[in-house]
Structure 1
């Protein structure tokens, strides 16, 4: 539980933001300053997102709210405003759509998103009969269904409504017979669960998830101790190059000549015995019987030599 210094109304729960979403005039006079959108965590810490960008919009007539995705729906009398709460959207904190609600949806003091149907659902006590479960379309504002619940008291407002994952409705009546009363509604049956002091203003935002576990601080980092560099591994010596092995061709097989079987062996001739040389006999020189004598032969030779000398002299004279 947390105590705030200002009033917050139209509470809803945003699963994407993990916070409660509401409207407040924190730090401003509600009759002349715009409403602010705030986020509230489970410990009551408030984050003011800023004013809604609509100067005419005030919180004095706002009485119900719910979040569908990144759209914050709030009821302002008979009108339903759709406020963009997506921080990444160009229309952030602007009213992107306004529709007029059908009767009796315009009399709901709170509503919630039904996870089974996707509709907005609340409890109405308008009229003289018992309370009614009322569902409507948030886009068009049209009434979709209304069901009387005999066990729900009428003529009193239901300022807090939530719906669980199974579609069961939980509603708080602000004051019936001097007490605020909590009811569980299933189908057309309502069961009173508890009572408390009568309240003039009450709101609910939804079934919140279980509390987050406490944050565990990481251990302090240990002082860094310089680590000596690891020794470089020894460089292996280069392996010697392998000696090429030259393979010698195998020696040719010895030639084997086989004489043809059809040729008979030839007989080896027998050499005759060498005889002893006889002494050479001197043959008698016979006298010249030709008409050319020795003197005449030398005369012919002399003539030939003279002719050769004359020829040589003539050749020199010409050169």
Structure 2
């Protein structure tokens, strides 16, 4: 939870000796840098307005620029301000964009509703002289600007009073290398100062400087040498929304009836499949449904065995009458044969007498 509360991002602009500035974001406290794009101008001072969620900057030519939190250019003032051509650091405090040029701390109105929008409305001299503060950021706890001042014997953390212009060293912040200055300074959510050294030993270095008096200074990241660099401040990051639970499947939408088309009938219910069971050891004979014929009387004889053949009475009577007819026919044919034989004998005797 503490790591989440301390997390923020800072927008940086950096450039080599020639060319426009590259915009990138730095995740704090990890120090991971991610490029966002290249501006058409060279920016030397940058500050972030949390109330407007916008970044204000000053170009090398002394013109004001306005960026969104993703580093996109929103506005550029064509008319340069001569006093702003040598600006090297900046930070937004309320509706004022505080920038430093030499020993001057100037306040620029950044209230879009003000008639003095993007004009210098105050100028304060820094004292004592001799401190070179390349960048600074606001500590909301005490209202002072914190930066790093470099000299021939090293670098030290200092505070600037935006009202009086007083510059003072902060004790117990440890040793930092001198080099070509610290052009990007951000006050983190963990109450530590994050300062980038432009060039020392052929490279730039991002340092974390503890402000609790422990003297802890830790290098976080390295990069190529830079000619100009500035930082916006610590931007709040919107929390990642939790994924909503999956919605239940939608109910089927009823189909509206179409005129002239009959509505489909409901399908018949699908009968449940019978449950498989183990057949019994002695199978039970399947009962035969009763027919429409009347049942036999109770005193009917026992059914015949497989060797007996019982003929119904009607068929027996028919068989009996047929046998009688056959006997009568046979008798008739026998009598006819006898008569023919006798006739033939008589005819033969009569023929013999005539001879």
TM-score, with normalisation over the residues of structure 1? 0.58
Aligned residue in 2 for 1:201:
228
Aligned residue in 2 for 1:180:
204
Deviation at 1:193, TM superposition (A): 1.2
The within-5 A match list for 1:224-243 is: none
Deviation at 1:86, TM superposition (A): 0.5
Q: Which has the higher strand share?
A: 2
The within-5 A match list for 1:130-209 is: 130-147=154-171, 149-187=173-211, 188-209=215-236
Aligned residue in 1 for 2:57:
22
SS in 2 for 1:109: strand
- RCO higher in structure (CA 8 A, sep ≥6): 2
Distance 1:104 1:169, change over 3 A: farther
Name segments (4+ residues, structure 1) moved above 6 Å: none
Aligned residue in 2 for 1:79:
104
1:45 is the counterpart of 2:72: yes
Deviation at 1:156, TM superposition (A): 3.1
Distance 1:49 1:140, change over 3 A: farther
TM-score, with normalisation over the residues of structure 2? 0.53
SS in 2 for 1:57: helix
1:108 is the counterpart of 2:133: yes
The within-5 A match list for 1:248-263 is: none
Aligned residue in 1 for 2:47:
12
Deviation at 1:206, TM superposition (A): 1.3
SS in 1 for 2:219: strand
> How far apart in 2 are the matches of 1:65 and 1:116?
19
* Residue-by-residue CA offset, 1:32-71 (whole Å, 9 max, x unaligned): xxx322211133321225357x854242x11000000110
Give the RMSD, CA atoms, in angstroms: 2.4
Aligned residue in 2 for 1:242:
none
Deviation at 1:212, TM superposition (A): 8.6
* More moved, 147-156 vs 165-174: 147-156
> How far apart in 2 are the matches of 1:50 and 1:82?
17
> How far apart in 2 are the matches of 1:3 and 1:163?
25
Deviation at 1:165, TM superposition (A): 2.8
Aligned residues: 203
Deviation at 1:141, TM superposition (A): 0.7
The counterpart of 1:57, out of the listed 53, 66, 83, is: 83
> How far apart in 2 are the matches of 1:2 and 1:158?
22
Aligned residue in 2 for 1:310:
none
Tell me if structure 1 keeps the 8 A contact 2:136–2:145: yes
> How far apart in 1 are the matches of 2:177 and 2:77?
39
SS in 1 for 2:113: coil
Q: Which has the higher helix share?
A: 2
* Residue-by-residue CA offset, 1:158-184 (whole Å, 9 max, x unaligned): 111000134210011111111111111
Distance 1:117 1:45, change over 3 A: same
* Residue-by-residue CA offset, 1:231-289 (whole Å, 9 max, x unaligned): xxxxxxxxxxxxxxxxxxxxxxxxxxxxxxxxxxxxxxxxxxxxxxxxxxxxxxxxxxx
Tell me if structure 2 keeps the 8 A contact 1:104–1:124: no
SS in 2 for 1:90: coil
Deviation at 1:106, TM superposition (A): 4.5
Distance 1:55 1:154, change over 3 A: closer
- The structure number with the bigger radius of gyration is 1
